[in-house]
Structure 1
């Protein structure tokens, strides 16, 4: 086999594998939509989406409160995690010595390997009593779940942001330093803007992890299907709603949980579209020299 034929075979194989991945995703989506459609058809899509009462025994299947709960938990987790992650990635990539960097990288990677249930137990035993004693309430709240999620998404954002910062060409840094800029000015004005598209990608991945997390959130969020009045109120997310009730759901209740998965998929797609738009915008701005 010639070199050209081998490369063509590899190219075709990779293309087939990519198509197969898309096909599997399509099959999963079709299954979710097929199972959830009876509930949407019977109950009404907008009534299901904007209803504020979830009571399967009474035939009420409104998920709006859970959508708000999911958004609350996700965005508060991002608000906590993004500054910490980017600061840590910047320190590891541009400030720390090789010895410190080689120590921190495995530690960060270890965080990503800890099972969700361990994070959940940590939140249940440590964070819930702490929030209860310091801020009031039961301790089972959006704020507690957001803290747990922020810890869980730290490794993802740190690792991808670190790789983006390290991929900035050395010539950029040398040119900036050669013009008299300090190391901090070079990081702030040259390195960080150049790595910003990759950092936004890291945030997108962290956001996807936060939206989809289930077990750890179930253990600390309170699982009350009502509109939260503050970040210290208990809530229920879309993922925890599915996990809590799928084991005993039947009939239209079963279909409503799949319809909840459809709403969750739509929510994730909406967030990803917005995040990718922001990423492309910053990439164009950087390429055009506006930053």
Structure 2
């Protein structure tokens, strides 16, 4: 009996030791993630604020200015670092891509879940996974080889501009929004559909009045998540938007985004100079918008849980 008790005590102590070790490893991993995230936030914010604290650039002029040429100064001696054209360009391509990809993704999700689930699972799901895995540079090269010449030959302008960037971003975020929308629609309880059909509603009425309304929060989360990816996309947009730091008056005129200016200038500046600090300020704006999208997603998810 004593031997059995000692064996049980030994096994219990081993389990407790393993559990303690697992907790320590988990805590270390979480700590590394938190430290890395905090370090990135601190580094980007400190570098971004150097433009306004060290170089004495007005934050209002930075946000509302329309002239972008950090190496030159205006009549008052202030550098031309107006980021408004890039901010407008980033929001324009993001909103247009979301407006196009949203309805397409919702329609595809409804077809994959409600209309033809077998075909959706066997054919459309692998296609979506394939599209997600394609690198952004491939999307940009296809846009440069197909979309830009098509716009130039059949519509107007040089082909570069917000329209071309919108098409490329729409294709890029469509698989992501579709996959998340599929998960949202699948999460609707089956008895909701059965109750609606039992009351005499058609399948279309059930989808429109019951399924979509019940999964509205999840679908909104999917669209916002797609917008967050579109807003932060750099290489594909840079290849097709034209990279002209001016406020566009047409969808078919060259424009620029925050990410395109960053990728073009990051290797051509010296650390600590105004040219470099102003790029960090653009990165800080991008970071702020990413945090905003995360807050919106969490807010929508919280409302969904409450309901």
Same fold, judged at TM 0.5 (above):
yes
Residue 147 (1) aligns with residue 167 (2): yes
Change over 3 Å in CA distance of 1:4–1:88 after alignment to 2? farther
Per the alignment, residue 38 of structure 1 pairs with 50
Change over 3 Å in CA distance of 1:104–1:247 after alignment to 2? same
The correspondence of residues 84-99 of structure 1 with structure 2, limited to 5 A, is 84-99=104-119
The correspondence of residues 1-291 of structure 1 with structure 2, limited to 5 A, is 17-41=29-53, 42=55, 43-58=57-72, 59-250=79-270, 251-274=273-296, 277=299, 287=307
- The answer to whether the Cα contact below 8 Å between 1:197 and 1:283 also exists between their aligned partners in 2 is no
Gaps of at least 5 residues in structure 2 are 1-10, 73-78
Change over 3 Å in CA distance of 1:16–1:183 after alignment to 2? farther
Residues in 2 aligned to 1:90 and 1:127: alpha-carbon distance in whole angstroms: 28
- 1:88-128 deviation per Cα after TM superposition (whole angstroms, max 9, x unaligned): 01110111141443111000110010011110111011100
Residues in 2 aligned to 1:227 and 1:234: alpha-carbon distance in whole angstroms: 9
Residues in 2 aligned to 1:29 and 1:97: alpha-carbon distance in whole angstroms: 43
Gaps of at least 5 residues in structure 1 are none
Give TM-score scaled by structure 1 length: 0.90
Per the alignment, residue 6 of structure 2 pairs with none
How many residues in Structure 1 have an aligned counterpart in Structure 2?
285
- 1:41-81 deviation per Cα after TM superposition (whole angstroms, max 9, x unaligned): 22122222222111122132111110001001110111110
Larger Rg: 1 or 2? 2
Residues in 1 aligned to 2:184 and 2:28: alpha-carbon distance in whole angstroms: 29
Bigger shift: residues 21-30 or 215-224: 21-30
- The answer to whether the Cα contact below 8 Å between 1:40 and 1:48 also exists between their aligned partners in 2 is no
- The answer to whether the Cα contact below 8 Å between 1:200 and 1:279 also exists between their aligned partners in 2 is no
C-alpha displacement of 1:136: 0.3
